[in-house]
Chain A
């Protein structure tokens, strides 16, 4: 089955700097890769996703890149703000109704 590795487990950046979180997956059949943000006491919120037919996707300050050959994908947050502080999870799905497999999460702290 699918296995998703996520790095780093914790990340601290200065406000205004960029943050990058990386994930690798094992199942070459996976073709859907979402990212979630979880704030304290809340459920995970879908913030961006990418499919295997696309190499990069951007939404304002966040972007996701995918390298299918290397089986890794990354989340990029530019101009970080204190409200970006949260735990971020990557996930992968082989498609269809197959449930998502999640990485272990990255705790991002943005220092003002």
Chain B
């Protein structure tokens, strides 16, 4: 499986600010996704990061709030914009490993004060 490096691993931010999370993979991958895991909850897909084009967002998530970049097949960023305490969650980068297998990074623990 691919090695997925995600940073920062955790951050504490003030409301109204923005945070950009980086995801680096050690090999080229076609599919990259961003998930949110609210405290004690399951994983919810935010969007599919498409290389060279705009991300595909799931219902309830919009580009203005969660802009995503995917400049190449090994790197993606997720920005959480104009944060509020409700954005406090773990944000997870994941990559497709072929045959539908999905692998996750270690996550970014975000706390918004």
Contacts and interface: CB of A to CB of B under 8 A. Distances in A.
Interface of A: 32, 34, 36, 41-46, 49, 89, 91, 93, 95-97, 99-100, 102-105
A45 B103 CA distance: 7
Interface of B: 1, 4, 6, 31, 33, 41-45, 48, 92, 96, 99-107, 109
B102 A34 contact: yes
Q: Is the interface of A mostly helix, strand, loop or mixed?
A: loop
Contacts of B107: 42-43
A12 B106 CA distance: 26
A96 B42 contact: no
B43 A32 contact: no
B42 A103 contact: yes
A88 to B, nearest CB: 11
A96 B102 contact: no
Contacts of A32: 99-100
A99 B42 contact: no
A100 B66 CA distance: 20
A102 B41 CA distance: 10
Given A42-B107, A43-B107, A102 B100 contact: no
A105 B106 CA distance: 17
A49 B99 CA distance: 11
Contact of A44 (B45, B96, B99, B104): B104
A43 B106 contact: yes
Contacts of A36: 104
Contacts of A102: 42-44
Nearest to B59: A1
A51 B94 CA distance: 20
B42 A105 contact: yes
A110 B32 CA distance: 34
Contacts of A97: 31, 96
